[in-house]
Amino acid sequence: MIKLIVQSIRQTILWSLIAGVAYTLVMTGISQVLFRDQANGSLIVRDGKIIGSKWLAQQFTGTNYFWPRPSACTYGTGPSGIVASSGSNLGPTSGALQTNVMNNASAFISGNNLPTNTVVPADMVYASASGLDPHISPEAARLQIARVAAARGLSEDKVRELVEKFTESAQWGFLGQPRVNVLMLNVALDQLATPKPAETAPAPKAG
């Protein structure tokens, strides 16, 4: 028995060194050399400042941006710092979920000035699993084009072109679902040269 305990302790220490230290260090080395950008979180940098990660949704409520899917964890942000990723975990007979679904649908319709009988895509009425889902469906993006174009004084065609550019079909033709990365699309929107909002006002700087 004592012998087994001693062997257990020695084995635990040895494997902590091999599987904990050596394995993690080697894998980090490989990743930092081969896939440096992905390894550090696929960060988006603008004017020398980190403004987000390609994979994490941010909250957008303004009319001049595309909106992401509803989040049960305020997109991982809060007044006291990080908030853990989370879904709503509300069940199929939950009254709270029923209310959320109704509210999300009517907010999407009124926010985008859509006809009241519009079928809102399911991804915009239901909260995502992580609360950080970076993608929306192409349909959900299309329904927002007119609003964003109007708010930015851009032509709808120009915004539609951009949405199409950021629409990814199923990966390699068959894996997963078609999707649009909202944060990347909004960053690209900001980079589009903004036309003069009015004759007299000086042209604002792009970006």
Structure tokens at 105: 């649908």
Of the candidate residues 63, 66, 71, 95, the single one contacting other proteins (CB under 8 A): 95
Q: Measured from the CB atom, is 78 or 153 closer to other proteins?
A: 78
Tally the residues of the chain. 207
**Cβ neighbours of residue 200 closer than 8 Å, sequence gap 6 or more:** none
Taking contact as CB under 8 A, which single stretch among the options 54-62, 110-118, 145-153, 159-167 is the one that binds other proteins? 54-62
- What φ, ψ does residue 70 adopt, rounded to 5°? -60, 145
Give the residue, chosen from 30, 151, 193, 203, that forms a contact with other proteins under the rule CB under 8 A.
30
First to last CA, the chain: 70
Interacting residue with other proteins among 40, 106, 110, 113 (CB under 8 A): 40
Smallest distance from other proteins to CB 22, Å: 9
Under rule CB under 8 A, residue 65 binds other proteins:
yes
The identity of residue 125, as a single letter, is V
CA contacts within 13 A on the Cβ side of 133: 21
For 185, the token pair is 């699309």
Binding residue count for other proteins, defined by CB under 8 A: 105
Binding to other proteins in span 151-180, by CB under 8 A: 170-177, 179
Residue whose CB is less far from other proteins, 91 or 202: 91
From 66, 109, 112, 135, residue interacting with other proteins (rule: CB under 8 A): 135
91 lies in the binding site for other proteins (CB under 8 A): yes
CA 100 – CA 80 distance, rounded (Å): 25
